[in-house]
Structures are given as structure tokens and as C-alpha cells.
Structure 1
Amino acid sequence: MTAAGSTTVPAPAAGPSPVAGDVRVVSARDADGKAAARVVIDAAEPVFEGHYPDFPIFPGVCVVECAHRAATATAPGPAELAAVVSARFAGAVYPGDVLDVALAWRPDGDGWRCDAIATTARGKAASVRLRYRTTGGEPR
């Protein structure tokens, strides 16, 4: 736990990630399946190098990765990503932005569905729907 009572999830050790920054869980999953996370989009993110050098924009795939890492950190139990059901991008994310991710979990067949809304101070950046399959172990 951090001083503010939240947890920080470092970049995953298993497998590559296009995002170097950490995901901070600001609200653990509640009884209704709602949770929240935050990612500070540092100007030093490696993906900014060469991605519109004169006007850097955080790539959409990185927003999806932030949603996935936030979902993994708040999942109801051990789960692995089965599908990115959809991703809709509504606004750009720039260096220095704070990306807030609101998550909503619900059962989906033999796994879980997680709907994520990513926002910045300018408004909605993306909505992402993810499906996870359970991998055994105890529910959290």
C-alpha cells in the first residue's frame, strides 16, 4: 500500500509491455464489481520516441494495455486475458496526462468481463471491453 492507501502495480514481469509506467489501484473492486486505477503518463515513456516526434500522442494500444493492467490488478480471481472485445478511442492522451481508469467487472460464462472507461482531465479517452478466463486459484 502507498501512503494514500492505494496499491501500485509495476509493469508486468512476465512478457513485454509497451507501457513503462506503473498502474496505481485507487479503489479496490467493491461488491458491485467497480474499481478504479490511475496511470501517470510520463513524458519519458519509451513509446513517445518516434511516435509523432513533434506532437507526441500516447498510442491507443498503450491505453488498452493500461486498462488491461488495471483489470488484472483488480480481477475477482486469477485470470488471463482471453479477448479484447472492443476498444473505442474518444480523445488523445498526451505526455504528462493522468489516465484514470474506471472498471466494472461481471461474470461472463466461465470467466469474467471487464468494461473500462479511461479518462484524462480533458474527458473520455477510451472505452475498452475485455474478457478474461479464469485460471484456477481462490477468488479475491
Structure 2
Amino acid sequence: MTTLSVDTDEPVFPGHYPGFTIFPGVCVIECVHLSGLAAPPPGVRRLELAAVETTRFLSPVFPGDQVETDLVWTGGPDAWTCAATVSTVRGTAAKVRLRFTAEEAA
């Protein structure tokens, strides 16, 4: 699991849903991507994003939220799928599945 605090002054906020400021969905997907790179499956030396397989947004992420990303890895050794649940204090914000190519550790 990884955790990220969404700063209230993120440069992505101005103009994104004026009057109802939320963290853009593409940024939520990027949180999952970066979480996968930071917490790879055991024995993997390098990961590279190959595809966004599915994404389902369930509730908004607001400025100031703490985002927790829970990762479940399947596959190997040279291709991995990361199924992630992204949550805030209000519950599940998104379910994202990413596919990565991988290089095993020596």
C-alpha cells in the first residue's frame, strides 16, 4: 500500500470542474502507476507501463485528501498486472488495473 496527500495547491486544480474542484481521474491513474513503480512485485528489478486495462471511478478525490492505494500483483515473470483500489476517508474512489512489462532482478 502507498499513501499520497493531495496538496490543495496542485497545479491541476484550476479550471478542472470550476466550482467543484476535484483531483482529475488521469492523476488518480498516475498515482496507481507511480505506486506500482514504488512497490513492485518481489524479484522485479524494473517495470514499464504497457497499458491501462480498466478504470472505474467511484467517488471524487478532493484537494487535501489523503489517497491510499492498495496493490494486488498477478502474473510474472516478464508481464505483471496490478489491480489497485484507491481510497480516501470517504471510501473507495477508484478501481484501476494496469499492465506492466517487467525485468527480473539478477
Same fold (TM over 0.5): yes
Runs of 5+ unmatched residues, structure 2: none
Match of 2:93 among 116, 125, 129: 125
SS in 1 for 2:30: helix
Task: Tell me, in whole angstroms, the C-alpha distance in 2 between the residues paired with 1:90 and 1:55.
Answer: 16
Tell me the alpha carbon deviations over residues 20-69 of structure 1, each in whole angstroms, 9 at most, x when there is no partner: xxxxxxxxxxxxxxxx0011011111100111232211011110000110
Q: In the alignment, residue 85 of structure 1 is paired with which amino acid?
A: E
CA-CA distance at 1:108 after TM superposition: 4.9
Match of 1:65 among 16, 21, 30: 30
Bigger relative contact order (CA 8 A; separation at least 6)? 2
Q: Percent identity?
A: 47
TM-score, normalised via structure 1 length: 0.69
Q: Where do residues 1-140 of structure 1 align in structure 2 (5 Å cutoff)?
A: 36-76=1-41, 77=44, 78-108=46-76, 110-134=78-102, 136=103, 138=105
Spell out structure 1 runs of 4+ moving beyond 6 A: none
Runs of 5+ unmatched residues, structure 1: 1-35
Any conservation in 1 of the 2:86–2:93 contact (CA below 8 Å)?
Answer: yes
The structure in which a higher percent of residues are strand is 2
Decide whether aligned partners of structure 1 residues 105 and 137 sit closer, same or farther in structure 2, where only a CA change above 3 A counts: closer
How many residue pairs are counted as aligned between the two chains?
103
